[in-house]
Structure 1
């Protein structure tokens, strides 16, 4: 989360809802936002489609029928918490979802088909636009937050690229040459600008000369080759240094239908990848390669753009700065206490993690993440593989959750204004000697600090998103009951997501299909794996001197039960017991 320059904004006093929307949308689309503040992988319309696809896969014996229970549970939860979906339903939710084991699969399928038509993406998106526009104009921030989140989920699952949407946000509201922001009615202009519309694109790559060897075959892939670019593109290409050199060839993929240039580039990339992979079947010594930058022309317009290769989904995780990363590596090397067999297993997991980071094929990334999660989890006799991974990973992720929220909030607070943040934290009573994260936790969670929180609210000025986040976190952290509800909800969502990663792994292996939301699964799966690995390293390098994965997982399970039991025993947070929310022991 960052506070951007508001030079394009005029009459800010009347634009609070619109500015909050713009700030929240940027956070939703930013690659390095915390997973809690990113869009969901799926919302009600696409969960419904996923459930129907799952039923079809169960019929074909691709996926085990036991998976249906968890998907129906998630779909029901989504419908119950989605005002857009509920406004479109003709009858109660229970009428559409038949979750009884006695109900025939065919009956469940027909009800879900009706639900899918009722919640078609086009109907859902239209209602989302209406409700979002109204909530922005009425400055209803909780609704803006909810509708913005589901808007991005809907648009990306329809097929619009996240990077394209991120650029649109920056261009329209903060950086571009588009008109100044002076009226709340411009929310409708923006929503219209990002509405799904299919365009036609021509994509040009610069390829190695090896592609000449398949010149007779490329027509089957609808690929053309040129020694020179079309004349109308040459000046732009020259200015952008998009020039073929040393026997390189211009490769053209024409008439690609897509919602945006980034999506078009992805489609063209897949076509070239398929050609290269087939060539490699017959010639192993070299591969057809091409440069990262592509020249893209939107047909029937003068719009030209150079686009590089998309960011690897594995690169979107949290990274330490190089100096701190080096320090942590040295700590690991000097203190890692695993005995031989466990150390070898740890090395294998690190290898799989490294393969995922270095491999740019999204399916391979997900497969290696799943292998890593499965390998790191100690086996339990009698437990299904997926049940074992879920039950073993949850204690790590849940006990870290509040800590991660506080750490991210602290980073956002200090990024906004380090001087003001420090000045406000100094005013907290009885915090001398406390670490910075504990001070922030006490600022947010102790009722008696309301006057200091108010000073922070007043200081935040036009940074409506950070004020909203402060208020929302404080509302939860002041109540042990609400904290328990929050972590229970997170536990449920993580469980569903790990199961989705596993189902997607099975789809790739057994049917060759890849769902559109796989990039979100890789980002989340990578995050879960890193949380497990870092906790393993921490516990093996401290005074516990843990020697095996079995010991780590057992200790974390014990701490997890202790953590939840301690929370349930607290009636009101104070300066002493609130510290138990953080996982720093």
Structure 2
């Protein structure tokens, strides 16, 4: 979360909702946002499409019927928690979503087909824009937060690239001097950029001369090899400094590319070159066709706009990284203290580290997802009397649960420090905490203060026009106000992680067996990478720390014990609070009661 310059804004209270929306979009589309604050992989319209595809795969015996119940549960939850979807329905979600196993698949498909028509993505997007406008005009931040997430999820699943959405958001709301943001009515100008209409593009590459060997095959891919710059590209080549660096390059034009934006067009065109290269490598193994990272993309229809498009950031590069110095120290600590002496466990750990490295170096997303899943399968122990996917979910979950609250608080502190480190430190010094409490414990202590406390008023006043950060702090303070709210917060996260792990598993199987490539695959890779990292770091902590575990089985059992302990402390906290009232007694004891949430 970043606080952007507001020099484009003619600030006044009527624009608070619009500014909050712009700040939330910036966060949603930023590469390094915490997964909890990113767009969902799917929302109600696309979950319905997924359920229908899954029924078809079950009928064609591509996938087990048991997978359907999880998708139907997620679809029902999504519809019931989506105000836009509920307003589009003619009847309650339970009419359309038949979860009973005794109901024939044909009847389930019939009802879902009607739900699909009701929540048709274009219809949903139109209503989403209308509801967003109304919520922004009236500065209803909770609704703006929810609608903005569904808005971006919908656009990404339509086929817009996240890079295009991110750049469009920054250009419209924060960069340049093309227009002042002085009215909520400008929101319609922004919305008009995303009408989900495909355009026709041409993409110019600089490719290694090996491409000439397959000159007779390129026509099948709508690719043209030329020694000279195509005439209608000549001025652009000069504008973007796209001349050949030497004689070891050829101009290659990919024609008739259908996409929603320039960045998406690059990906479609590059996929064609990838396919051609892979086919060629079946017959020639010594070298591969390669190309420059930068390409020129021209829209051939309507406005004829062009762009120099760089290689997008790899999906695996979007994980959290430590600074180089700290990373090297952690590596040295791992090498010096790693106690996993069991040969099989050590080999598995190394194998997963190898596969993780392959995922980072290979930028083909299908391969990344397959290798990520292989890494997870390699790492987790086998368990009898249960399905593989149920076993994997149960082994991943403890690492995800015991880290969740700490990750949320760490991100909040990072955002507050990024906003104004010195102002926040000044406030933390006034928090009534025990000597030796760290910044995360002090932040938790601050979160449980009453909204009318002078310190909270001071923080909110300091935040001024950073509406998103103020809203985030306020929302989390509501979470930590009651044990039941904390429990629900964690249970919702567990439920979403469960569904996402199963979606990664199904997608991996579809890639292997039917070469499918869903629009949300990048989100799955980001999430799968995050789950794998959490397991790996947890295992390293248990091996290098005071427990000194020597096998993977011990590490997973210890993680399970940690989750049981965590759950019991949360239950005890709830029992100690009569009728689940707001946490009482002194602010110090309120926060101290919650410090177990930050333990690893």
TM-score by shorter chain over 0.5: yes
**How far apart, in 2, do the equivalents of 1:254 and 1:12 lie?**
48
**How far apart, in 1, do the equivalents of 2:329 and 2:523 lie?**
30
User: What CA deviation, in whole Å up to 9, does each residue of 1:234-291 have, x standing for no partner?
Assistant: 3432342211222411000122121100111111011111111111111111111111
Q: Hey, what does 1:574 align to over in structure 2? A: 590
Runs of 4+ residues over 6 Å off in structure 1: none
> How many pairs are equivalent?
584
Q: Hey, what does 2:313 align to over in structure 1? A: 311
Query: What is the CA-CA distance between 1:302 and the residue it aligns to?
Result: 4.4
SS of 2:90's equivalent in the other structure is: coil
**How far apart, in 1, do the equivalents of 2:558 and 2:304 lie?**
62
Moved more, 163-172 or 228-237: 228-237
**How far apart, in 2, do the equivalents of 1:445 and 1:531 lie?**
27
Mapped contact 1:170–1:176 kept (Cα < 8 A): no
Query: What is the CA-CA distance between 1:232 and the residue it aligns to?
Result: 4.3
SS of 1:179's equivalent in the other structure is: coil
Q: Hey, what does 2:580 align to over in structure 1? A: none
Q: Hey, what does 2:8 align to over in structure 1? A: 8
Query: Are 1:295 and 2:296 matched, yes or no?
Result: yes
SS of 1:15's equivalent in the other structure is: helix
Query: What is the CA-CA distance between 1:131 and the residue it aligns to?
Result: 0.2
SS of 1:250's equivalent in the other structure is: strand
Structure 1: stretches of 5+ with no match in the other structure: none
Which of 514, 521, 528 does residue 518 from structure 1 map onto?
521
**How far apart, in 1, do the equivalents of 2:548 and 2:68 lie?**
42
**How far apart, in 1, do the equivalents of 2:149 and 2:496 lie?**
15
Query: What is the CA-CA distance between 1:451 and the residue it aligns to?
Result: 2.4
Moved more, 302-311 or 503-512: 302-311
User: Using a 3 Å threshold, how does the CA distance of structure 1 residues 269 and 476 change in structure 2: closer, same or farther?
Assistant: same
Mapped contact 1:136–1:187 kept (Cα < 8 A): no
**How far apart, in 1, do the equivalents of 2:300 and 2:528 lie?**
38
Q: Hey, what does 1:34 align to over in structure 2? A: 34
**How far apart, in 1, do the equivalents of 2:331 and 2:271 lie?**
37
SS of 1:405's equivalent in the other structure is: helix
Q: Hey, what does 1:138 align to over in structure 2? A: 138
After TM superposition, the structure 1 = structure 2 runs for residues 474-553 of structure 1, keeping only pairs within 5 Å, are 474-553=477-556
Query: What is the CA-CA distance between 1:195 and the residue it aligns to?
Result: 2.4
Q: Hey, what does 2:179 align to over in structure 1? A: 179
TM superposition score normalised by structure 1: 0.98
After TM superposition, the structure 1 = structure 2 runs for residues 133-282 of structure 1, keeping only pairs within 5 Å, are 133-244=133-244, 245-282=246-283
Q: Hey, what does 1:285 align to over in structure 2? A: 286
**How far apart, in 1, do the equivalents of 2:407 and 2:475 lie?**
15
**How far apart, in 2, do the equivalents of 1:203 and 1:345 lie?**
43
After TM superposition, the structure 1 = structure 2 runs for residues 307-386 of structure 1, keeping only pairs within 5 Å, are 307-339=309-341, 340-386=343-389
Mapped contact 2:316–2:525 kept (Cα < 8 A): yes
**How far apart, in 2, do the equivalents of 1:178 and 1:49 lie?**
39
SS of 2:201's equivalent in the other structure is: strand
Structure 2: stretches of 5+ with no match in the other structure: 578-582, 584-588
TM superposition score normalised by structure 2: 0.96
Moved more, 412-421 or 339-348: 339-348
Mapped contact 1:353–1:369 kept (Cα < 8 A): yes
**How far apart, in 2, do the equivalents of 1:190 and 1:59 lie?**
43
Query: What is the CA-CA distance between 1:446 and the residue it aligns to?
Result: 4.2
Moved more, 217-226 or 414-423: 217-226
**How far apart, in 2, do the equivalents of 1:449 and 1:324 lie?**
40
Q: Hey, what does 1:71 align to over in structure 2? A: 71
Indicate the RMSD between aligned Cα atoms, in angstroms.
Answer: 1.3
Mapped contact 1:314–1:526 kept (Cα < 8 A): yes
